[in-house]
Structure 1
Amino acid sequence: MTVRPHDLTDLLLAPTLIDLDDVLEAIGDLNPGELAFEVILVTNQEPRDAGERAAMLLEFLRFRLDLHRWSLALTDRGLSVEHGGRAVVLGLPPNVRDYLAA
C-alpha cells in the first residue's frame, strides 16, 4: 500500500533528506579534529562525553538546515529523520560514527 503525503511537512521530506545527505557527505570528508572543531564552532560547547557529542552533533545538523518540522534522532542504524509516526534512517559516515563513539 502506497503511503501518501498528509501535509506540507510530508511533501518536504525529499528535500530535507537531500540536504541532510549533502551535509553528512561534506562532514564525512573531515578528519576527526576538523569534525570536532566544526561541531564545537556551531554549538559553542565542548562535549564532555559521548552523550554530549551525540546531542551536539544533532544540534549542529539542526543549525545548518531547515528541517521543515522533521525531527532528528540518532539510532543504532544511523540518523533517523522522523515526523508523524514515520521515520527514514540515513547512514552515518565512518568518521561521524567514530566521533560519536569516542
Structure 2
Amino acid sequence: MQKIRKGDKIIVLAGKDKGKTGEVVKVNPKDQNALVQGLNMVKRHQRQTQSQEAGIIVKEAPIHVSNLAIADPKDGKPTRIGFRVEADGKKVRVAKRSGESIDG
C-alpha cells in the first residue's frame, strides 16, 4: 500500500515550491514521484501537430515523493503516514501527527 495516492492533499517540503499545497494528480510508484496540480511548473517547447498549435506550453513536472508530505486532516500541517488494521480487517492510512484516519 502506498503512502501517497492520487487525490491526496499534500504539502511540498523541499524545492522551489517549498511550503505550497496541492492535490496529487498522478503517482508513479516505479520512479517514486508524483504530479501535483499547479506545482513544479516547467516550460516546454511544443512542435506543431495536426491537433495542437506550436509554441511554449507550461505544465507540471513530477516531484519526488520524499519531498512531499500529506496534510493532516485535522489541522492541515505536514504529517507522516502510518498504517493500522481496523476491526473489519481493512488496512488504512493514519496520520502520525493526530492519529486520524486518512482513508475516508
TM-score, structure 2 as length reference: 0.26
* Greater RCO structure (CA 8 Å; 6+ sep): 1
Q: Which has the higher helix share?
A: 1
- What's the TM-score once normalised by structure 1's chain length? 0.27
The structure whose Rg is larger is 2
Structure whose residues are more often strand by fraction? 2
